Amino acid sequence: MIRIGIPVRFIDGRYVVNANYIEALVKAHSEPVIIVPQHDLESLIPTLNGVLIPGGFDVDPKFYHDADLYCGPLHLETDQLDLALIKASLKANLEIFGICRGQQIINVALGGTLIQDIPTQVETQLDHNTSQVHGTLTKGHLIQVYPNSRLASLCPSEIEVNSYHHQAIKKLAEGLSVSALAEDGVIEAIEGHKIFAVQWHPERMISDPIFQGLFDDFITRCSL
């Protein structure tokens, strides 16, 4: 069985992993492995085939050398766990799949920066938090997928995704490439060697084979 590590989030004194991620990974015929900050990553990483970095709170701007101007809640332990896990996974040549904050912190781990607040810092009419505001799992906005990208092999060149974020990638880290944009130019998907990440939440749309297909492709690559 393909084993996929997924780090916890810390909410109201509890370690949490949203059930949607577990459901999508199990549906893709893999075994989720919950990772807590107390884990010895050096011992754990060799037992895994890949890592999924999920959504969560904003990344502390100190990790991309910026002042905190527009961030919401921050959690140092979560940032430290994600960053350590990403770096250990890259060193071990594991496949990494990032979702929402996961995409953002992968970019930060590799030396990129973030837009702290899209409504404040980007001239746009597009609401990137529309799914949260309206309580919808699937409706959001269209994205344009780059031809010849990994994402292009998995979905149409234009597709509607959900949208639950107010931050996004600003400066793209070296070694990564963009594979999708929103109509206002906000980066919606990235990829690199052993790295694939999206800004939306496909785990909330796995009733659609296209979005479950992102997890299926991830698990296939983890098995190679």
The catalytic residues are 100, 201, 203
Contact 141, 130 (CB under 8 A): yes
Characterize the bridge pairing of strands 176-182 and 114-115.
unpaired
d(CA 19, CA 51): 16
d(CA 142, CA 83): 30
Contact 158, 142 (CB under 8 A): yes
Q: Can you name the residues that pair with 121 across neighbouring β-strands?
A: none
Q: What is the DSSP string of 15-82?
A: EE--HHHHHHHHHTTEEEEEE-TTS-HHHHGGG-SEEEE---SPPPGGGGT---SS-----HHHHHHH
User: What does each C-alpha distance from 25 to 30, 31, 137, 213 come to in angstroms?
Assistant: 6, 7, 18, 11
